[in-house]
Amino acid sequence: MKKILFCIFLLPLFSLGQSGLHLQFMPDAPAGQFFQPALLADMEMTALRLSGAGSLWLNSSTVTYESLLGITNYLTDDFKQNLIADLDADNRFQVAYNYGEMLNFRTGKLRWGISWRNRWATNGGFDNPLTMGLVLRGNAPYAGQTIADQGVYMRSFRAWELGLSAAFSIKEKFKIGIRPKVLFGQRYTAMEKLDYSLFTAANGTRLEVNGTYDAFFNKESVRAFDQMGLGVDVGVIYDISEKWRIQLSAVDLGHINWQVERFQGDLDFEYEGINLLELLGPDPESPNFFITDTLRTLLLPDSSHESYRMGLPSQFSLAVSRKLGEKGKMMLSAHLAPGAVAPQYELPLVNLAYHHQFTSWLMLGINAYGGGPDQYGLGAVAMLQFVKKDEYVVNIFGSMDNALGVLIPARGQGSGLNVGASIGF
């Protein structure tokens, strides 16, 4: 038993906001390999290590926690007004969940890993805050106005992946990790494009709607093996000296193919009321015949069945760390996620973290970041580790990548919590 090490990680309860800003610097947390595959080469293990990890996170680019505190079991008009007032241009919302399992083993000097992960992510956005106003309040409060938005979108995908990783060291300076993987799609739903312009007459007797839309719906009857994709995760760590380290990673490079029903069309009609008597028996000579035909076109648009290729939610990271004395470590990192699905942020997220090993069994750390989808945040991490040589290892850790929403609700747009534990024999 002394040559076989089993580690079982309890699932993190949930994590809101940014994900993995501490884990990618913690070799003893196997979940960090999903962000930096080269960490497998740093992991202390004799033969085998089994792990599991999961997370759930969400964020908003505009909505603060203070505006959500008054929610009861129904939406009050005051809440609706406060939420709309909290929004500005270019609103983005994201939520994602994933659970993964990993079996790491060592043969000679090489470290190998087999990983499985179930993933779900949703992101959406709009440019005009009054788009949310239409959803929450309808168009009556905007009579006499024209509301337009060309930035409405929504995407949701579920998939699971199976990967085989390998990590090795070159002259103790370079550590390289690579994980090719195959993905099996479960569901994809998207409103890739919705541009609209809505005018409501002041007296409420006339509506004018113009716009275009492009939507995808994945049928539930389609098997996961009919929707496959390929991807790869790559990571490099270079120890410049005993104190300085630089690392790079690129994860989720690849694509997945979906079998979808695609709906495309134009919104272009004017409504001035309907004569119900004529509507019951529409006559081609009746002025309402055009209206009923337009409504039929909107409700039953033309569609096509096709294969749609979607890029994976790629993430790129660059980090530099420096040991401070025997117990401290400072880390500066930059992250970019330019893909179409969550996590998505076109501007880099820059994170500064500090970890301190107070005793042989206690590590504490803090972090602060700017950029990314929710703009800025503060967080912390703690890890307890108990080791009895050649007998057992116990790890318990918790991290909050962003706690600003808890500390200052009027400022925070996300909050984070990761909790996990491991035990080895």
What is the DSSP secondary structure assignment for residue 82, as one 8-state letter? Answer: H
| Calpha distance 190→185 (Å, rounded) | 14
Q: How much is the pLDDT for 254?
A: 96
Q: What residues contact 128, with CB distance under 8 A and at least 6 apart?
A: 89, 147, 148, 149, 151
Q: How much is the pLDDT for 8?
A: 39
Q: How much is the pLDDT for 13?
A: 33
Count of CB atoms situated within 10 Å of the CB of 9: 23
User: Confidence class of residue 4 from pLDDT cuts 50, 70 and 90?
Assistant: very low
First CA to last CA across the chain, in angstroms?
A: 7
Q: How much is the pLDDT for 281?
A: 54
Q: What is the DSSP string of 281-344?
A: S--TTSTHHHHHHHHHHHHS--EEEEEEEEE---EEEEEEEEEETTTEEEEEEEEEE-SSSSS-
Pairing of strands 244-271, 207-218: antiparallel
Q: How much is the pLDDT for 267?
A: 82
User: What's the whole-number mean pLDDT along residues 66-74?
Assistant: 71
| Calpha distance 32→297 (Å, rounded) | 50
More confident residue, 392 or 251: 251
Residue 191's nearest CA partner among 210, 209, 213 is 213
* Mean pLDDT, the chain, whole residue set: 82
User: Confidence class of residue 179 from pLDDT cuts 50, 70 and 90?
Assistant: very high
Count of CB atoms situated within 10 Å of the CB of 390: 9
User: Confidence class of residue 285 from pLDDT cuts 50, 70 and 90?
Assistant: low
The pLDDT > 70 percentage for the chain reads 86
User: Confidence class of residue 72 from pLDDT cuts 50, 70 and 90?
Assistant: low
User: Confidence class of residue 367 from pLDDT cuts 50, 70 and 90?
Assistant: very high
Q: How much is the pLDDT for 116?
A: 94
Classify 170 as helix, strand or coil. Answer: strand
Pairing of strands 328-337, 345-357: antiparallel
User: Confidence class of residue 357 from pLDDT cuts 50, 70 and 90?
Assistant: very high
- Looking at the predicted structure, is the pLDDT value of residue 79 above 50? yes
Q: How much is the pLDDT for 282?
A: 54
Classify 25 as helix, strand or coil. Answer: helix
User: What's the whole-number mean pLDDT along residues 335-352?
Assistant: 87
Q: What residues contact 408, with CB distance under 8 A and at least 6 apart?
A: none
| Residues forming beta bridges with residue 161, ordered by sequence position | 117, 183
pLDDT in tens, 191-232: 998 999 999 888 877 888 899 999 998 876 677 678 999 999
Q: What residues contact 267, with CB distance under 8 A and at least 6 apart?
A: 196, 209, 210, 211, 212, 213, 298
Q: Tell me, what amino acid is at 326? A: E
Residue 41's nearest CA partner among 182, 171, 230, 231 is 171
**What predicted TM-score, i.e. pTM, was given to this entire model?**
0.84
- Looking at the predicted structure, is the pLDDT value of residue 332 above 90? yes
Q: How much is the pLDDT for 63?
A: 82
- Looking at the predicted structure, is the pLDDT value of residue 294 above 70? no
pLDDT in tens, 225-238: 789 999 999 999 99
The dihedral sign for the CA sequence 297, 298, 299, 300:
positive
Which of 89-103, 171-185, 217-231, 276-290 has the lowest average pLDDT? Answer: 276-290
Q: How much is the pLDDT for 423?
A: 73
Classify 79 as helix, strand or coil. Answer: helix
- Looking at the predicted structure, is the pLDDT value of residue 12 above 70? no
Please classify residue 209 by burial: count the beta carbons closer than 10 Å to its beta carbon, then call 0-12 exposed, 13-18 middle and 19+ buried: middle
| Calpha distance 14→405 (Å, rounded) | 15
- Looking at the predicted structure, is the pLDDT value of residue 425 above 90? no
| Calpha distance 227→185 (Å, rounded) | 5
Which of 278-292, 357-371, 409-423 has the lowest average pLDDT? Answer: 278-292
Classify 386 as helix, strand or coil. Answer: strand
User: Residue 381 in contact with residue 329, Cβ under 8 Å?
Assistant: no
| Calpha distance 193→214 (Å, rounded) | 5
Q: What is the DSSP string of 185-201?
A: EEEEEEEEEEEEEEEE-
What residue segments make up the domains of the chain, in order of their start?
63-353
Q: What residues contact 401, with CB distance under 8 A and at least 6 apart?
A: 15, 17, 18, 19, 20, 21, 22, 367, 369, 377, 379, 416, 418
In the chain, how many H helices and how many E strands?
5, 16
Q: How much is the pLDDT for 17?
A: 45
